[in-house]
Amino acid sequence: MPPIRLDARFLRNPEAVYREFASSEPVRQVIMPDGVPGWLVTGYAEAKALLDDRRVSKDAGRALGLFPDGTAKLYATPLAVQMLNSDPPDHSRPRRLVSKAFTARMVANLRPRIEQIADELLDAITERKTVDLVEAYAFPLPISVISELLGVPQQDRARLRDWGRAMTSGAPQSVANRVSSEVADYFRALAAAKRAAPAEDMLSALVQVMNGGDRLSEDELVSTAYLLMVAGHETTTNLIGNSVLALLRNPAQMTRLREDPTSMPAAVEEFLRFNGPLHIATLRFTVDRVPVGGVEIPPGQFVMVSLLAANRDPSRFTDPLSLDLDRSAVGHLAFGHGIHYCVGAPLARLEAETALSRLLERFGTIHLDVSADDLRWRSSTLHGLRELPVRVER
């Protein structure tokens, strides 16, 4: 069977495309909208297995030769050389060092500041009544949190947003190269400042952290800071926006959550399952023959694991197309699985719980200000809204 050619609609509205696929084919050959060939994985069991299969590599350097000309983009920049795009043992070292700095205590200590940031943003929304909730709330909250966590000065945060969007929106290779250079120069200078005058922030901790005498190299420090910057705000912005939209389209579920605010942590797990912030898992390719889902993927092939589709697999979750805040969504794959499970998952959960709780506490009425069909989604392997116009009342 020839590969299925996917167009731009697959990135903007993946759910509609998945409805057209035969559910009996959890793994199929495709050509992505940017011309990259590979295998799309939509079944839950198959996705979970491949996310932790050592025959599937994440080594960005080795992957470069597999890309058609002009499509490598982000993976052809120095910032691609980091723990997310590497295999053991290269992955294990920086992961251990980052984990020593990114502790559960550090995340827990952020709760009061996250609540304060949320309240300040909601104060501004209260004065406006009609607002784009992505621009006014879902984006500035996580960018403020990750900036403070890394120790990025206030005046530099707008640049972080521009860099992050440029690097995750399919920009031309020339733009990716330029932005990569700017990001590297910025974090190299910031790390030098933290080394000279350490502060109570994560970049200072990463500069100093050691494991048996081992430290992050200068290049590892820069690429890790970039990874934490992008992963720390792009995906959480999508999670907050997607969660609010899910509630707006399911008012009974919103009422149920208002009546029992203590259920918010479990609700966030269902939001992650139902409409998570990442469509396709990050770079993966086979280094050996891999039998999966009734097919055999040859070596040297890209593997596109759809976290959205896997989390809506009816063989794993009953009535998966429905938002059900009483469901146990334990086991969803929104944060990945295996050794590359998202190191920032506790922070993302805390930010989403705080953002949604504070929003529902502040406003008794929240309505979409446009038709749901008119909402625009980002054309990216990330999965998030470009904007979310709402009307609010206290």
**Which CATH number do you get for residue 118?**
1.10.630.10
226 by Cβ neighbours in 10 Å (0-12 / 13-18 / 19+) ranks as: buried
- Check residue 175 and give its pLDDT: 78
Q: Which amino acid makes up residue 223? A: S
Helix or strand or coil: residue 390?
strand
- Check residue 350 and give its pLDDT: 95
Whole-angstrom distance, CA of residue 316 vs CA of residue 148: 38
**Continuous segment of H or E residues that includes residue 285:** strand 285-286
Q: What is the mean pLDDT, run by run of 10 residues, along the chain of 394 residues?
A: 89 87 84 93 97 96 85 72 88 84 81 96 89 95 91 87 76 78 90 90 81 72 86 91 97 95 97 96 96 96 97 96 95 96 93 97 94 89 94 88
- Check residue 227 and give its pLDDT: 87
Whole-angstrom distance, CA of residue 367 vs CA of residue 389: 9
Residue pair 241/351 in contact (Cβ under 8 Å)? The answer is: no
pTM for the predicted model, two decimal places: 0.93
Whole-angstrom distance, CA of residue 369 vs CA of residue 391: 6
- Check residue 213 and give its pLDDT: 59
Residue pair 187/225 in contact (Cβ under 8 Å)? The answer is: yes
Whole-angstrom distance, CA of residue 182 vs CA of residue 193: 17
335 phi/psi in degrees, rounded to 5? -100, 10
Average model confidence (pLDDT) for the chain?
Answer: 90
Q: Is the dihedral of CA 280, 221, 151, 337 positive or negative?
A: positive
Residue appearing with tokens 């998952």? 345
Give the orientation angle of helix 218-248 with respect to helix 140-150, to 10 degrees. Answer: 160
Angle ∠(317,84,384) on CA atoms, nearest 5: 50
How many structural domains is the chain composed of?
1
Distance of CA 68 to the CA centre of its chain: 25
- Check residue 73 and give its pLDDT: 67
Q: Which amino acid makes up residue 147? A: S
- Check residue 363 and give its pLDDT: 95
60 phi/psi in degrees, rounded to 5? -60, -35
Helix or strand or coil: residue 296?
strand
CA atoms within 13 A on the CB side of 385: 24
- Check residue 211 and give its pLDDT: 53
The domain of 384 spans: 4-393
